Amino acid sequence: MRILIVGSSGTLGRAVAAALAGRHEIVSAGRRSGDVRLDITDPASIEAAYAAAGPLDAVVATVGKVTFKPLAEMSADDFAVGLRDKLMGQVNLVLAGRQVLADGGSFTLTTGVLDREPIAAGSSASMVNGAVNAFVMAAAVELPRGLRINAVSPGLLTESVADYDAFFPGFEPVPAARAARAYRKSVEGVATGQVFRVD
């Protein structure tokens, strides 16, 4: 398969690429690096990246920004970051990609542990992750041409503990390589409308 990995230079994206590269052709994408440039907040950039990438059998998104702040300090603009980036960015990857993906192709989106375990200062992430999960379940019943869609919801990555451990007290870290196996399951398997949780 030819697989577009959006966010391929990040910790999770690199692990996913490594898990899939031995059997498939990887097309890397990111805002500032990769085979193609792609800004998920800009639908025109997404369409241009698909045109530049050529034929694709699968799209994997391992990107998405949200705001971490106590709820008492969150503004509408703070919530808009996650809505515009992690939520609608991934939704727009699907909207544009459904026109270009090969029959039977797949989308794999990324959410995270805050869809089920809230933390202080994480209301935006919880909201957006839950919305992406719901979108995946709903889109699965309507996508044309046998296209599939799933989400992967990993816990706190072991490689990110130094940066985020204070936000996730007592959480058991998940190695990125283990999380990457769930992306392989989504891409190479047959499931659709599922959220693969990696705790």
Say which amino acid occupies 77: D
Helix (H) or strand (E) segment spanning residue 108 = strand 101-110
Say which amino acid occupies 21: A
Please state, in angstroms and rounded to a whole number, the distance separating the CA atoms of residues 3 and 9.
15
pLDDT tens digit sequence for 75-111: 999 999 999 999 999 999 999 999 999 999 999 999 9
Which parts of the chain sit beneath pLDDT 50? none
> Please, what CATH class does the domain formed by 2-198 belong to?
alpha beta
Cα-based torsion angle of the residue sequence 161, 167, 172, 178 in order, rounded to the nearest 10 degrees? -50
Query: How confident is the model at residue 90, as a pLDDT?
Result: 98
Do 109 and 66 contact (CB within 8 A), yes or no? no
132: nearest Cα among 75, 193, 174, 46:
193
CA geometry: angle 34, 35, 37, nearest 5 deg: 65
Query: How confident is the model at residue 56, as a pLDDT?
Result: 98
- Packing angle between helix 43-53 and helix 88-97, nearest 10 degrees? 40
174: nearest Cα among 161, 184, 192:
161
Where would I find the H helices in 54-122?
76-82, 88-97
Is the model's pTM score more than 0.85? yes
191: nearest Cα among 134, 75, 131, 108:
108
Query: How confident is the model at residue 67, as a pLDDT?
Result: 97
Query: How confident is the model at residue 160, as a pLDDT?
Result: 95
